Amino acid sequence: MPKIAQYDVLKDFAFKPRPRIFEPLMNFIDTNEVLSKYRLTTWAKVDINLKKFIYDGLEKELRGTLSCNVPETLLVKDLDASLWPYLEHRKGEHKEMPTSLTRAIFICHVTTKLIYYSAEPPDGSSLSQMSNILSDYMLFLVLVHPSMLPKDFGDMSKESFVPDNKRADLIRKESRRAAILFGVARDFERSQIADTKFFARQLLANERTEISELLVLKELDVLSMGHKFARKLRDSCNDGDIWELLSNLWMVMLIHAAKQCSWKEHAVALRNGAELLTHVSLLLAHFGLSHHIRLHDDIQNDSV
């Protein structure tokens, strides 16, 4: 598995393709915007640094030491409820709490990209790179392969009443509309990455702690929640601590998804060359951390 897919939603927000003759027909046929998603999909190399980061995270989970280490100045209760179980991983209060992984991934992705693109000069640290790669990969799964992720339970947001395979598209479309209301416009004289950085810096620099009056879903919008999380991180932590927290948070969500994904979906992925999530699930099984395979079951079967 030399490469993994990447999807950057801020590039999606800032991207406005040139009009095409058959665009209305394609929009009518491609109701889930599959072509649009693949048009914005890029690929990242799975190098030794990423492999080591993931393996180290799995070892921490095995030892029971994987944690986001949220500082006391950052009040988790002030953030979106979908983030609580992941930010407070290993804490008893949310250990068995139902979670909305789809929503949490969107919010954390927006937070990660806002902080990353707003850095001047760009942050090239290892943890920031790992956070960005996992962030873009998890969002790709949400939008293109939602069946590989666990179903959302206990989520009472607007999108929770939409079928699982349609939920991510609803969040994406509503967030894009919110970005348009914020005033993001594609400048054909600027590069796509320049547009994305411009949007991120303008949004994060907004002095209001709430931008919900600009947004379609108001306080429930993932763009607003991601903005709020990013602002609170910037106010509570230095750059190094921010990336340590976010990298651990993405590792927690990756492990949660890998534990809960059904083996049927992994089997399909293996036939098509495998996903990173499948490799992580197999490593979890090796460590005895899988919800589907238990080491003690194998030992008992061997003894029989």
- 56, part of any domain: yes
Number of domains present in the structure of the chain: 1
Question: pLDDT tens digits, residue range 25-69?
Answer: 445 444 455 556 667 789 999 999 999 999 999 999 999 999 999
- How far apart (Å, rounded) are the C-alpha atoms in residues 248 and 255? 11
pLDDT of residue 23: 52
Residue at token pair 């927290």: 245
Residue 158 lies in a domain: yes
Q: Which residues contact 82 (CB under 8 A, 6 or more apart)?
A: 99, 100, 101, 103, 104, 107, 155, 157
Domain membership flag for residue 295: no
Query: For residue range 82-124, what is the model confidence (pLDDT) as tens digits?
Result: 899 999 988 765 554 546 788 899 999 999 999 998 876 556 6
77 is a domain residue: yes
Burial 28-60 (b: 16+ CB within 10 A, else e): eeeeebeebbeebeeebebeeebeebbeebbeb
Q: Are 30 and 36 in contact (CB under 8 A)?
A: yes
Give residue 41's pLDDT: 86
Pairing of strands 41-45, 3-7: antiparallel
Q: Which domain holds residue 24?
A: 3-257
The reply to whether 286 falls in a domain is no
| Neighbouring residues of 225: CB distance < 8 A, sequence distance ≥ 6 | 79, 80, 107, 110, 219
Domain assignment present for 139: yes
Give residue 162's pLDDT: 47
Q: Is residue 238 part of a domain?
A: yes
> Would you state the pLDDT for residue 153?
53
CA distance 59 to 56: 5
| Average pLDDT along the chain, 304 residues, taken 10 residues at a time | 86 60 48 60 92 95 93 91 90 59 91 87 78 95 84 53 54 63 52 69 61 46 86 91 96 92 76 83 86 53 43
Instruction: Please report whether residue 43 resides in a domain.
Output: yes
